[in-house]
Structure 1
Amino acid sequence: MSETPETAPPVITARNLTVRYTLGHGLFGRKTHLDAVDNISLSIARGSFFGLVGESGSGKTTLGRALLHAAPISDGEVIYADEEVRYDLRKIGKPELKDYRKRAQMIFQDPYAALSPRMTVRDIIAEPLEVMGLTKSRAETDARVREIAAKCRLNLEHLRRFPHAFSGGQRQRISIARALVSGPRFIVADEAVAALDVSIQADVLNLLKTIQRDMGISFLFISHDLSVVAHVCDHVAVMYLGQLVETAPTRALFARPRHPYTSALLSAIPSLDPDAPKTAEKLEGEIPSPTNPPPGCKFNTRCRFARPECRQSAPALRELASGHRVACHFAEEFDFSRAPQRAAAAPA
């Protein structure tokens, strides 16, 4: 029986992961710390398309980089495991890290800045093979480049050109080909379609889904656009100020969000019906500074339903249904999937 995202073993497991930066000295010589990722635990199944959403500054990119061993892991652990190897990224050595680099890759947000203007498309795609020593001859390298280019809908004529000759969507396909050429099992796509037009976004998203299905690659898809996440992801995690506040299968999350922050994000998705009433929930205030987060639940300063308990203790990420975990003291009390009930559920 073939594996599904619900039954497949994890390719990446993070337990109590923290990424902390020291920003310098404050008053009286005290060091100022910023927890960009704060005590996060999650698992990404093999062959899954895992979405990560949240506002700018919530720590999504830092989490993705930590899972690739490109950001310092201050506490906790990150375990990578496929059919051949198992690595603890906090204890990984240089030989294992070199091997991990070919197994885990990244697609960057800006296709204009991610490609060297002085290299041809062929050289850009071939560079990982040459740096990692994955091919033994130029002929073997060229054969692999042509194979991956075809998967990413690039023809032989494209390989002789420079990046300036391409549109944004074509450049992103070049970036995808570069990420795929080493044969990775896990890819972090960091806002991979955010800089593209809507029509081009659909083409790139369909390409990523085809690659996932045909090559069995696991994706961490970072985005701020929940309508895009709904189209491609089978599981979604919502991040706020360095912490996960909700994680669930995509259908369950969109059908019934159990955290007020998730509810607010979903309400902001524009409707295709111009006559539909506007139901977006306004979040008061700005996201707090990660160097001075509020006590208790980090969302309590912007939550309409906050109570004294929310300001005194931080809620744990707990499971309410199969695969659906929420960090809210009162998740069972409110039904955030129904706008009239949300308006009537304001605490006394």
Structure 2
Amino acid sequence: MTEELLIETRDLTVGFPVGGRLFNKKTLKAVDGISIGIPRGSFFGVVGESGSGKTTLGRALLNAVPITGGHATYHDGEVRYDLSTLSGTELKDYRKRAQLIFQDPYAALSPRMTVRDIIAEPLEVMGLTASREETDARVREIAAKCRLNLEHLRRFPHAFSGGQRQRISIARALVSGPRFVVADESVAALDVSIQADILNLLKNLQSELGLTYMFISHDLSVVAHSCDHVAVMYLGRIVESAPTRKLFAAPRHPYTKALFSAIPSLDPDDRGRAQKLEGEIPSPTNQPPGCKFHTRCPHATDLCKAREPVLQTESGHAVACHRWQELL
């Protein structure tokens, strides 16, 4: 039985023109030909270094940045949208169905609004409630699910800790009743103990409200705790994708292995064994030929430098590497 996909992309590309001169313009491909499927009800993780295109991919699936190539579709029951052509009434309807939880809980909330007004704003902007009483009832309902009480609704954001602020941000994202939620590094700014609390809250809300998450992170330990499936991005492309257990048990791409080896260990004998990545991630406006990772890969050959590997899938585990079988 195949999983029903809520979000599906085919060769999705997001590019931005850069350069000020008429004959010296380049295109920065932040997302470069990505094909993924996010099953309904899943906790789909996307990991990679800063500059790999994770956030741009998430924003493209929210229709917050323009899609410049390929296709992305949202399919929920009888509702189906082509995200590359959304506009007008369809776009307004999609805004109710897809929401974003921001990374920084301190910058994401207006200091001049009470918590009640912050959570109620999407309902008022989208016209989802007919009266203030209906709005207040919906705000109280979602606040309770996010472990906020009535007294919290009367306060301003400065009165709360980072974890409490993030619960406010989650309540604001969920108040419109979305089906798809992009969580962009939503626990990165929090203490470790608070991270676990927020992750457990997201998991509980997922089962209670029937949510599908795209969870963007650079922290593999956080991804291992929460996600069902993980896609690894490098320079705008997916280099490896697999169910979480498979990926952590046997990573295949050299980049994924390097990320895993950098996870801190409590075992003193493991210290100093991390595989160091030499150099920096190349500029998206001047990408190397062949495999995009070959400039930093210790296993690169002339084939890697000349020909770009295709994402190959075997038993649900996809990898884009010419030599992955030799390196197992």
Q: Same fold (TM over 0.5)?
A: yes
1:15 and 1:82 mapped to 2: Cα distance? 18
8 Å Cα contact 1:25-1:32 kept in structure 2: no
1:275 and 1:74 mapped to 2: Cα distance? 48
How many residues are aligned here? 328
1:49 and 1:210 mapped to 2: Cα distance? 12
Whether 2:12 is the aligned partner of 1:17: answer yes
1:266 and 1:242 mapped to 2: Cα distance? 20
1:286 and 1:24 mapped to 2: Cα distance? 22
Residues 62-211 of structure 1: matches in 2 within 5 Å? 62-211=56-205
- For the residue of structure 2 that corresponds to 1:237, the secondary structure is strand
Q: Which residue number in structure 2 is paired with residue 36 of structure 1?
A: 30
TM-score by length of 1: 0.92
2:280 and 2:148 mapped to 1: Cα distance? 43
* Shift in Å, 1:276: 3.6
8 Å Cα contact 1:15-1:42 kept in structure 2: yes
For 2:142, give the aligned amino acid. Answer: I
Q: Which residue number in structure 2 is paired with residue 238 of structure 1?
A: 232
Find the partner of 1:224 among 206, 218, 232.
218
2:60 and 2:25 mapped to 1: Cα distance? 23
2:212 and 2:272 mapped to 1: Cα distance? 36
2:254 and 2:207 mapped to 1: Cα distance? 33
1:56 and 1:218 mapped to 2: Cα distance? 24
* Shift in Å, 1:213: 1.4
Whether 2:261 is the aligned partner of 1:271: answer no
Unmatched tracts of structure 2, length 5 or more: none
Find the partner of 1:323 among 316, 322, 327.
316
For 1:42, give the aligned amino acid. Answer: I
Per mean C-alpha deviation after superposition, the further-off stretch among 51-60 and 89-98 is 89-98
2:270 and 2:255 mapped to 1: Cα distance? 22
* Shift in Å, 1:275: 4.7
2:41 and 2:222 mapped to 1: Cα distance? 19
1:56 and 1:88 mapped to 2: Cα distance? 28
CA deviations 1:47-70 (Å, max 9, x no partner) are 000000000011100000000000
- For the residue of structure 2 that corresponds to 1:329, the secondary structure is coil
CA deviations 1:181-212 (Å, max 9, x no partner) are 00000000000000001111010010001111
For 2:137, give the aligned amino acid. Answer: A
2:75 and 2:3 mapped to 1: Cα distance? 12
Q: Which residue number in structure 2 is paired with residue 311 of structure 1?
A: 305
Whether 2:292 is the aligned partner of 1:298: answer yes
1:130 and 1:87 mapped to 2: Cα distance? 24
1:9 and 1:279 mapped to 2: Cα distance? 41
CA deviations 1:81-107 (Å, max 9, x no partner) are 112400001122210000000000000
Unmatched tracts of structure 1, length 5 or more: 1-5, 336-348
* Identity across the alignment (%): 73
For 1:250, give the aligned amino acid. Answer: T
TM-score by length of 2: 0.98
* Shift in Å, 1:30: 2.3
1:207 and 1:125 mapped to 2: Cα distance? 17
CA deviations 1:214-247 (Å, max 9, x no partner) are 1110000000000000000000000000100000
- For the residue of structure 2 that corresponds to 1:81, the secondary structure is strand
Q: Which residue number in structure 2 is paired with residue 344 of structure 1?
A: none
- For the residue of structure 2 that corresponds to 1:222, the secondary structure is strand
Question: What RMSD in Å do the two structures reach over aligned CA positions?
Answer: 1.1
* Shift in Å, 1:334: 1.0
1:274 and 1:152 mapped to 2: Cα distance? 39
8 Å Cα contact 1:288-1:294 kept in structure 2: yes
For 1:305, give the aligned amino acid. Answer: H
1:121 and 1:160 mapped to 2: Cα distance? 6
2:209 and 2:2 mapped to 1: Cα distance? 18
- For the residue of structure 2 that corresponds to 1:285, the secondary structure is coil
Whether 2:45 is the aligned partner of 1:51: answer yes
Whether 2:303 is the aligned partner of 1:280: answer no
* Shift in Å, 1:316: 0.6
